């Protein structure tokens, strides 16, 4: 009898040890630097990520090897840029758009419309002889067939560039005295520019309605048609087969969408559908919407998590205030949502409020890479969001 008990205890201990080893083997190494507004893509089992506040740094992580560390690669050769999009086609990673400064000393940001290619085999960067027709900043970007890259939404480059030029160049006074040059911000003029920029209807920002497709092999852009729904930027993007789901995003600066929409792509034909609205966050009366979120699938379930919004913005907007987030506090979110049987449910929490980082789809879940924490700091955290049948587990 005692022998049986000892054998049973030994078996249980062995099982627990094996389970612990299995869990430990799934751990993902921290990113080498705290990072936000980065870009990432996956080729095979290797994830490539960097840019944003990692500046020109570019790294690789082999997710097939438990405990693998991030490996530094050839640095990005062009200007630093935040919020660029990265998509893998074959063994190459293509990087589009992003915002940044032409010269480090510049006061204003611009939208970059250049395209870069990273060759994962040769570990080299090269500039592609094309430009994004609409800029592409904050667009939802993905590929379905491994040949063509799709672009949904995006800011209007002329309006974006113009705002930052007016607010940070035109609203700056330059004074020359005794051979010295000083610059002083004209706060009143800057506030006027800012108020005018935010006090507009969603349609006045001219976010990109056209759905664009880019084929790297042909180096050719095509217009696939118009998104018939309210256009958003900074959406979460998830792919299942030939269907793309776009979750949340900004319908105008400071005002987020609580909705999700999907589009099925057959050749160059687009078939749109609306999903049920995202449920309210715990303890809140209504869903304010999320932008800069993480999205994807785990075990067949659609997930969306994190991002940021301005609680109270919809109340002010519905009361007629176009500057919807005026006086409100930008709030990062930790809520995880899952679409179960056609309805969104609250499925868990991120380790911390987090948004505006990179994410890639793995076989069993969504790999989150860094992001912006409440208050603006970047994060080194790397983890997998994995659906367990009832809620989402965080696997590190």
Enzyme catalytic residues: 250
Residue 14 lies in a domain: no
Residue 3 lies in a domain: no
On whether both 341 and 351 belong to a single domain, the answer is yes
Q: What percent of the chain has pLDDT over 70?
A: 90
Distance CA 89, CA 91 (A): 6
Q: How many CB atoms lie within 10 A of CB 173?
A: 11
- Look over the chain and give the mean of its residue pLDDT values, rounded to a whole number: 91
Residue 307 lies in a domain: yes
3-class DSSP assignment, residue 3: helix
Structural domain boundaries, residue 95? 31-154+207-227
| Mean pLDDT (whole number) for 143-165 | 96
On whether both 372 and 250 belong to a single domain, the answer is yes
pLDDT at 249 over 60: yes
On whether both 279 and 385 belong to a single domain, the answer is yes
Residue 144 lies in a domain: yes
| Mean pLDDT (whole number) for 218-234 | 97
Q: Which among 23-27, 178-182, 219-223 has the top mean pLDDT? A: 219-223
On whether both 309 and 383 belong to a single domain, the answer is yes
Residue 5 lies in a domain: no
Domain of 375, CATH number, reads 2.120.10.80
pLDDT at 310 over 70: yes
On whether both 178 and 322 belong to a single domain, the answer is no
pLDDT at 9 over 50: no
* 104-to-35, 125, 171, 353 alpha-carbon distances in Å: 19, 21, 19, 30
On whether both 296 and 387 belong to a single domain, the answer is yes
Q: What percent of the chain has pLDDT over 90?
A: 85
Number of C-alpha atoms within 13 angstroms, CB side, residue 144?
20
Query: H/E/C letters for each residue in 40-94?
Result: EEEECCEEEEECHHHCCCEEEEECCCCCCCCEECCCCCCCCCECCEEEEECCEEE
User: What's the confidence (pLDDT) of residue 349?
Assistant: 98
pLDDT at 379 over 60: yes
- pLDDT tier, 136 (very low <50, low <70, confident <90, very high otherwise): very high
User: What's the confidence (pLDDT) of residue 5?
Assistant: 41
On whether both 108 and 192 belong to a single domain, the answer is no
In tens, the pLDDT along 314-332 reads 999 999 999 999 999 999 9
Residue 133 lies in a domain: yes
User: What's the confidence (pLDDT) of residue 171?
Assistant: 65
User: What's the confidence (pLDDT) of residue 177?
Assistant: 56
* 296-to-14, 87, 208, 238, 367 alpha-carbon distances in Å: 35, 15, 23, 4, 9
Domain count, the chain: 3
Q: How many CB atoms lie within 10 A of CB 254?
A: 20
On whether both 247 and 395 belong to a single domain, the answer is yes
In tens, the pLDDT along 117-129 reads 999 999 999 999 9
On whether both 169 and 107 belong to a single domain, the answer is no
On whether both 92 and 216 belong to a single domain, the answer is yes
Q: How many CB atoms lie within 10 A of CB 264?
A: 15
On whether both 381 and 239 belong to a single domain, the answer is yes
Residue 342 lies in a domain: yes
């Amino acid at each position: 009898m005692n022998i049986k008990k000892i054998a049973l205890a030994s078996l249980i201990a062995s099982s627990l040890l094996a389970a612990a080893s299995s869990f430990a083997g799934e751990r993902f190494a921290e990113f080498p630097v705290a990072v936000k507004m980065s870009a990432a893509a996956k080729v095979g089992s290797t994830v490539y990520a960097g840019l944003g506040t990692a500046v020109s740094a570019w790294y690789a992580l082999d997710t097939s090897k438990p405990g693998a560390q991030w490996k530094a690669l050839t640095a990005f050769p062009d200007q630093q840029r935040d919020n660029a999009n990265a998509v893998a086609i074959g063994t190459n990673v293509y990087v589009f758009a992003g915002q940044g400064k032409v010269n480090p000393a510049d006061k204003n940001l611009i939208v970059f419309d250049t395209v870069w290619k990273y060759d994962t085999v040769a570990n080299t960067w090269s500039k592609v002889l094309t430009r994004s027709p609409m800029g592409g900043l904050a667009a939802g970007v993905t590929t379905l067939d491994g040949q063509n890259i799709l672009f949904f939404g995006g800011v209007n480059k002329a309006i974006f560039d113009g705002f930052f030029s007016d607010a940070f160049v035109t609203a700056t006074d330059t004074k020359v005295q005794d051979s010295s040059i000083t610059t002083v911000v004209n706060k009143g003029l800057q506030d006027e520019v800012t108020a005018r920029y935010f006090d507009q209807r969603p349609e006045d920002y001219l976010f990109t309605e056209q759905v664009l497709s880019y084929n790297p092999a042909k180096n050719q852009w095509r217009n696939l048609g118009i998104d018939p729904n309210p256009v958003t930027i900074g959406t979460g993007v998830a792919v299942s087969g030939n269907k793309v789901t776009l979750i949340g995003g900004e319908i105008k600066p400071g005002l987020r969408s609580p909705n999700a929409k999907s589009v099925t792509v057959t050749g160059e034909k687009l078939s749109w559908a609306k999903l049920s609205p995202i449920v309210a966050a715990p303890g809140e009366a209504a869903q304010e919407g999320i932008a800069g979120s993480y999205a994807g699938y785990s075990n067949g379930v659609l997930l969306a998590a994190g991002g940021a919004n301005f609680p109270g913005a919809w109340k002010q907007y519905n009361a007629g205030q176009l500057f919807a987030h005026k006086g409100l506090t930008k709030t990062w979110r930790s809520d995880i949502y899952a679409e179960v049987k056609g309805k969104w449910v609250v499925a868990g929490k991120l380790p911390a409020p987090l948004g505006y980082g990179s994410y890639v789809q793995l076989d069993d879940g969504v790999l989150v890479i860094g992001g912006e924490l409440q208050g603006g700091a970047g994060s080194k955290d790397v983890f997998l969001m994995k659906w367990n049948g009832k809620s989402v587990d965080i696997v590190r």
